[in-house]
């Protein structure tokens, strides 16, 4: 009596982990992401164990040592395998390699003027990937001569990551395991690493092996991007026009303080200590903030202009504070800022054009715009929200 119960129980447990262990809803529980990653690592061993236990039970039945009605337990195992391995419950997301590209003036059949695109620069060329095409193919590898990049799109997080690939990288070994907390979760079968789609980092927060630091990305309507970069190349893949062409709201199937704060849009600063600036910050001009050990100059030319950030460290022990130039003179018509430490004049690109620091260019800090606070805080627990007045 005990032996068949143990066999059925073990087979059902192993099949249940295969069926439900990578469910994105697990993100709402403590250690949910760890459960998903462990379930993927053990998926095939668990399948083998479950099948072996089922065969052992069948052996007992065939040899007459146990009655045939014990085979009913095999139906439960079969149902769990169907649930876990069926494409209905786990739609396959495959890598789209080297998709066709067209010039901006020939892109009308593939992208509407007001549709949002993910735009970026790689190898001195600009690329635009329409939202509805990314909804159909959220994992794309682009190639340009010896340059390769992996684009990861998490639609309900409105997050795109573009990762340069080393020569040894094998993007074909990448598999989308699940979509917990509004992010794609990738598994590199060759290297055994899990990559979070919204951060471009491993689950442990490290840079993935074989991949470089993320390239700067912009998200805007196609006509705005094409006007700024008329030589851009546009992904030309046929996809359903019913797929979303504008940003989606997050599903928020994970612990949050409140839906309103979780859906708050922020701009993410690529500083050592991660920080987020709310999009609804109404300031214009410049503001100085400190993020960890980095002193930052925030700049916004108007209430609707995109936020920019610069590192205020001009030298090892020189940290600048700025004030606007109220009346630019004929000698310095492009000067918009003046620092208090050296009296040098600076353009709105934070390059000194006059004074002791003439020729100095402050480092621009990359910013990821229009992300959701709740999603990013889940995946980056150390993320700091800075309200700028």
DSSP code string of 323-370: EE-SS--TTSTT--EEETTT--EE-TTSBEEESTTTT-BPPBPPEEEE
Across residues 55-79, what is the average pLDDT?
87
The domains of the chain are located at 2-85, 96-235, 259-385
Across residues 62-73, what is the average pLDDT?
84
Tell me how far apart the alpha carbons of residues 154 and 134 are, in angstroms, rounded to a whole number: 9
Residue 252: predicted pLDDT:
82
CA R_g for the chain? 26
**Residue 13 or residue 255, greater confidence:** 13
Helix axes 32-41, 43-62, angle to 10 degrees: 60
The string of pLDDT tens digits covering residues 281-307 is 878 888 999 998 899 999 988 877 889
Residue 275: predicted pLDDT:
94
pLDDT band at 87 (very low <50, low <70, confident <90, very high): low
The pTM is what?
Answer: 0.90
pLDDT band at 89 (very low <50, low <70, confident <90, very high): low
Residue 259: predicted pLDDT:
75
Q: Are strands 125-130 and 233-235 parallel, antiparallel or unpaired?
A: parallel
The string of pLDDT tens digits covering residues 317-372 is 899 999 998 887 888 888 999 999 999 999 989 999 999 999 999 999 999 999 99
> Where does 259-385 sit in CATH, by number?
2.102.10
> Is the separation of the CB atoms in 251 and 375 below 8 Å?
no
Residue 52: predicted pLDDT:
94
Instruction: Name the strands in the sheet holding 233-235, side by side, starting at the edge strand that comes first in the sequence.
Output: 101-103, 233-235, 125-130, 116-122, 217-221
Residue 311 has pLDDT above 90, yes or no: yes
Residue 173 has pLDDT above 60, yes or no: yes
Q: How much is the mean pLDDT over the chain?
A: 90
């Amino acid at each position: 009596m005990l032996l068949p119960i143990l066999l059925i129980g073990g087979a059902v447990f192993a099949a249940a982990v295969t069926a439900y262990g990578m469910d994105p809803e697990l993100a709402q529980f403590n250690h949910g992401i760890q459960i998903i990653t462990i379930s993927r690592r053990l998926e095939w061993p668990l399948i083998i164990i479950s099948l072996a236990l089922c065969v052992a039970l069948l052996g007992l039945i065939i040899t007459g040592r146990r009655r045939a009605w014990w085979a009913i337990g095999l139906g439960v195992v079969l149902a769990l395998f169907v649930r876990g391995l069926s494409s209905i419950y786990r739609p396959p997301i495959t890598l789209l390699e080297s998709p066709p590209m067209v010039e901006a003036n020939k892109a009308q059949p593939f992208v509407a003027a007001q549709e949002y695109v993910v735009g970026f620069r790689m190898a001195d060329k600009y690329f635009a990937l329409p939202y509805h095409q990314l909804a159909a193919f959220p994992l794309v590898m682009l190639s340009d001569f010896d340059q390769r990049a992996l684009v990861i799109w998490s639609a309900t997080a409105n997050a795109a990551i573009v990762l340069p690939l080393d020569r040894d990288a094998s993007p074909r070994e990448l598999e989308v395991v699940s979509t917990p907390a509004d992010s794609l979760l990738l598994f590199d079968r060759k290297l055994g690493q899990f990559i979070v789609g919204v951060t471009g980092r491993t689950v442990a927060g490290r840079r993935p092996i074989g991949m470089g630091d993320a390239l700067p990305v912009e998200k805007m309507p196609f006509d705005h991007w094409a006007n700024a970069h008329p030589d851009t190349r546009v992904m030309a893949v046929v996809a359903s026009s019913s797929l979303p062409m504008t940003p989606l709201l997050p599903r928020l199937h994970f612990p949050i303080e409140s839906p309103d704060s979780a859906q708050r849009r922020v701009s993410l600063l690529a500083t050592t200590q991660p920080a987020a600036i709310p999009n609804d910050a109404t300031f214009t001009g410049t503001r100085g903030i400190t993020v960890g050990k980095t002193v930052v100059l925030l700049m916004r030319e108007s209430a609707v202009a995109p936020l920019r950030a610069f590192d205020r460290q001009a030298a090892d022990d020189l940290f600048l504070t700025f004030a606007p130039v109220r009346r630019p003179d004929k000698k310095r018509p492009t000067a918009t800022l003046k620092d208090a430490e050296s009296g040098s004049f600076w353009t709105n690109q934070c390059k000194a054009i006059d004074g002791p620091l003439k020729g100095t260019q402050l480092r621009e800090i990359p910013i990821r715009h229009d992300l959701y606070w709740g999603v990013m805080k889940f995946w980056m627990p150390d993320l700091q929200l800075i309200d700028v007045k």
